[in-house]
Amino acid sequence: MNLDSWRLALLFAAALAAALGVVGLMLIRRAERKTGFWLTAGASSVNVVASDTGAGPGMLIREPMLGLRGRPDYVLEYGAPNERRLYPLEVKPSRRSQRVYESDELQVGAYLIALRGTAGVRAGSTGYVRYATGTFRIDLSPDLERRVRDTVALIRRSRRAAVVHRSHAIRARCAGCPVRDHCDERLV
């Protein structure tokens, strides 16, 4: 091979590497737009390990002691090379709020507990909720874990109860309830 052939091969390899880099960035940006979670912000690299939105295979996570199980919208993996952890991301695209709803905080808390039950030490202690107005970080604190456990216990007791009373005063919530036609306490 002569010098011109080597230069041409090197130029072709450089062009191919640049093209692959551009395609990679396009895929990352597409995932960022779809989830609203900026994969390149602050983390060296983020992988979408699982998705219950159709973007990839879902991941069923479980915590057998509490009987929790679920499929987060996304399970992300990121961190330092030897410390990569798994984190749930729940996307609520129609929500517009400057603070996270308690129900969403409990949902992500339950996912964090179930992820710990499924992935062990690979599970992170942080999860995320993405609203139309921003992304909220949720840390699995002892208080949040207690609230999740209390909620699970309340649901279990309610399943055995003869009558379960409405737990809110929100008319819109009642309007969308699938059992409102059979509810004696409905607001609408």
Q: Rounded CA gap, 150 and 144, in Å?
A: 10
pLDDT band at 38 (very low <50, low <70, confident <90, very high): low
Tokens, residue 43? 């983390």
Report which of residues 104 and 9 the model is more confident about.
104
Q: What element of type H or E holds 51?
A: strand 46-51
Q: Which band of pLDDT confidence, cut at 50, 70 and 90, is reported for residue 144?
A: very high
Q: Where are the alpha helices (DSSP H) in the chain?
A: 3-35, 102-119, 142-160, 171-175
Instruction: Give the mean model confidence (pLDDT) for residues 58-69.
Output: 93
Q: What is the DSSP code (8-state) at residue 123?
A: B
Asked if the model's pLDDT at residue 37 lies above 80, the reply is no
Checking if the pLDDT of 164 tops 80, the result is no
Q: Above 60 in pLDDT, residue 185?
A: yes
Contact by Cβ (8 Å): 70, 50:
no
Q: 82 is written with which tokens?
A: 């030897």
Structural contact between residues 87 and 72, judged by C-beta atoms closer than 8 angstroms: no
What is the arithmetic mean of pLDDT over 86-96? 93
Average pLDDT over residues 88-109: 94
Mean pLDDT of 73-96: 91
CB atoms within 10 A of CB 69: 14
Average pLDDT (123-147) is 95
The pLDDT mean for the chain works out to 84
Q: Which residue has the higher pLDDT, 4 or 153?
A: 153
Give residue 184's pLDDT: 86
pLDDT confidence bin for 47, thresholds 50/70/90: confident
Q: How far, in whole angstroms, is CA 11 from its chain's centroid? A: 42
User: Is a pLDDT exceeding 90 seen at residue 125?
Assistant: yes
Residue with tokens 């992500």: 108
Instruction: Tell me: pLDDT of 15 over 70.
Output: no
Taking the model in full, what pTM does it have?
Answer: 0.70
Using CA atoms, how far apart are residues 133 and 121, in angstroms rounded to an integer?
32
The SS3 of residue 131 is strand
